[in-house]
């Protein structure tokens, strides 16, 4: 895996992945950024949300659960001092479907956090992580 990051002016950078996909990152306006893209630390949380959501949906589909939506809300706290690393991250899944089995959803969330999601497992080496979920019935 390889990513190239190029300065595009000010405090903004464009990252290009092997897959060809691009994202813009920028510093916050408080430190001279122009709000042209996500902050790098936000990108880490986005990666965590994407990785874990893919896992959860794939596992639920394999267990023949009728999932119609999956959303994850991630809240993180950072250290007050520089470097302002994450100290706590909470991952909350909102899984919507028809007749979803709570045990299957719980199992998928746990397996993603502890076995499959590389981002979650890597972050858990340095950050206090917690996960939970709620189930909503499709109307």
Nearest-angstrom CA–CA distance, 133 and 8: 39
The answer to whether the beta carbons of residues 85 and 37 sit under 8 Å apart is: no
* Model confidence pLDDT, tens digit, residues 59-102: 999 999 999 999 999 999 999 999 999 999 999 999 999 999 99
Ranges in the chain annotated CATH 3.30.300.20: 40-137
Q: What is the CATH number of domain 40-137?
A: 3.30.300.20
Query: Which residues sit opposite 109 in a β-bridge?
Result: none
> Cα dist. 56→51, 53, 61, 77, 99 in Å?
9, 5, 9, 24, 16
Q: Which fold has domain 1-38?
A: N-terminal domain of TfIIb (2.20.25)
pLDDT of residue 139: 82
The 10 Å Cβ neighbour count of residue 45 is 20
User: What percentage of residues in the chain have a pLDDT greater than 90?
Assistant: 99
Residues in the chain, how many? 139
């Amino acid at each position: 895996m390889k990513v190239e990051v190029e300065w595009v002016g000010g405090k903004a950078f464009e990252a290009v992945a092997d897959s060809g996909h691009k994202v813009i990152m920028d510093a916050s306006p408080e430190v001279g950024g122009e709000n042209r893209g996500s902050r790098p630390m936000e990108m880490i949380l986005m990666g965590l949300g994407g990785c874990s959501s893919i896992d959860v949906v794939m596992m639920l589909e394999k267990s023949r659960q009728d999932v119609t939506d999956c959303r994850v809300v991630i809240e993180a706290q950072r250290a007050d001092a520089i470097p302002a690393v994450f100290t706590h991250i909470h991952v909350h899944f909102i899984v919507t479907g028809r007749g979803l089995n709570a045990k299957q959803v719980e199992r998928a969330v746990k397996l993603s956090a502890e076995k499959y999601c590389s981002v979650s497992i890597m972050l858990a080496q340095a950050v206090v992580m917690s996960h939970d979920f709620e189930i909503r019935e499709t109307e």
